Amino acid sequence: MRNIFLVYIPPSNVEAIAHYEDTIKQRVSLETIRPFVTSNQAAQLRAIFGERRIAVWGSRDSGQNRAIFEKMSPGDDLLIVEGNSIRSLGKIALKTVGNELSRTLWKPLKKATISDWSLVYFIANPVELDVPFEAFCKLVGWARNYQLRGFTTVSNDRLEAFYESYDDLYSILLRLRAKQPVSKKEPLAAASTLPAARPDAIPHEEPAQAAGTQISEHVTMQWKLARLGKKAGEKVWVPSADQNRLREVFSFDEFEAEFATGIDLPKNYFENIDVVWKEEFRINAAFEVENSTAIYSGLLRFADLNVVAPNTTYPMFIVAPAERRNRVRDQLLRPVFDRLDLRNKVRFLPYETVDEIDKFFSTATAGVSVDLIQGRAESLT
């Protein structure tokens, strides 16, 4: 169960607002942070953020704050609230206690004051929100006029009640920012009449191949999508069972070692998807490659995912030869998929389009993006 932490900034706290601009919005380079953390922590930050600047915040080291700080784990949610509005949202990536780091990052605006925000936490996937704080209060069962103070967390009983009804706070708040409806999750059994609905029970369609035979289109598409993901600056995941095949056939080994997600759900709902582009704790795009006549299997994975995580905001793609377009459209009309509105959530990405994009960026090391893929993919509504 993911914890939820909150930091309150009074609108009158000019110093905190200035520091927010410095280290949350502008972020901080790893070179600035490196002298004040261990070599292992620096390596972890490099693995998470790469060359990107890092959002970082801190709290004063009081007894109460230290007890809250000790509960923090990677993937937990962090909200920064200013006045009556949630200003930003992110995931805890790493934490450290550092007086010198605190003094370097948050120099006092007045010479007479001393900065001491030595409970330091690094924030992955930060996003600006501007969502009313009372919307969050409703989600976790706090009174509408709940008075937030300082650095706090949501109690376990309220977290349990929240996760019984909802999937992912991050996605929910992004939906609220976009003024989209928020859905409660429901049991899988109530959503599907198809057999073998669990994603981990659905076999991949990759056929066995004898030595010397032609490389399958399925494996080739996985490789191209994985390679494009790296050119998009994304971390890339393919199922563990497929990784050796890509290593052997294409000498491609730039996978994530583990499927890290900030969503409080079993990993098997995500880690069996053919290709995933992601950040450390967020999925940015999901691709199911379909070759066989049983083309519903990829849609079934996406359907299960939309039941257990109905507030999903990242794009999902069925990747198949162009001549299978109508077959995909027909499958989307099945009652179980229609009920989940998959036709408005899943886009069709023809093999031929992937080939065009891959060829165009064949000599590039960057320039691909999720938006580019979305723009070339097709809606089947």
Domain end residue (candidates: 177, 205, 237): 177
Q: Is 185 within a domain?
A: no
* One domain, residues 124 and 269: no
CA distance 136 to 126: 17
% of residues, the chain, pLDDT over 90: 59
Output the pLDDT for position 173.
Answer: 93
Say how many residues make up the chain.
381
Q: Do strands 283-289 and 316-320 pair parallel, antiparallel, or not at all (unpaired)?
A: parallel
* One domain, residues 135 and 202: no
Q: Is 349 within a domain?
A: yes
CATH number at residue 33: 3.10.590
* One domain, residues 171 and 284: no
Confidence at 292, pLDDT banded by 50, 70, 90: low
* One domain, residues 209 and 309: yes
CA distances from 307 to 166, 183, 335, 336 (A): 11, 10, 14, 11
User: Would you say residue 345 has pLDDT above 50?
Assistant: yes
The pLDDT tens digits for 105-123 are 998 877 656 668 999 999 9
* One domain, residues 120 and 259: no
Q: Is 183 within a domain?
A: no
* One domain, residues 120 and 24: yes
* One domain, residues 163 and 220: no
Domain end residue (candidates: 177, 205, 240): 177
Q: Is 381 within a domain?
A: no
Instruction: Output 108 or 252, whichever has higher pLDDT.
Output: 252
Domain that residue 15 falls in: 4-177
CA distance 354 to 104: 47
CB 274 within 8 A of CB 238: yes
Q: Do strands 77-82 and 85-97 pair parallel, antiparallel, or not at all (unpaired)?
A: antiparallel
* One domain, residues 214 and 150: no
3-class secondary-structure state, position 210:
coil
* One domain, residues 103 and 247: no
Confidence at 17, pLDDT banded by 50, 70, 90: very high
* One domain, residues 259 and 135: no
Query: Comparing C-alpha atoms, which of 87, 114, 91 is closest to residue 103?
Result: 114
Average pLDDT, the chain: 87
Q: Is 186 within a domain?
A: no
Q: Where are the beta strands (DSSP E) in 329-371?
A: 346-350
Output the pLDDT for position 194.
Answer: 44
Confidence at 206, pLDDT banded by 50, 70, 90: very low
The pLDDT tens digits for 64-95 are 999 999 999 999 999 999 999 999 999 999 99
* One domain, residues 173 and 282: no
Domain count, the chain: 2
The pLDDT tens digits for 346-377 are 999 999 999 999 999 999 999 999 999 999 99
Output the pLDDT for position 303.
Answer: 87
* One domain, residues 173 and 272: no
The structure's pTM equals 0.81
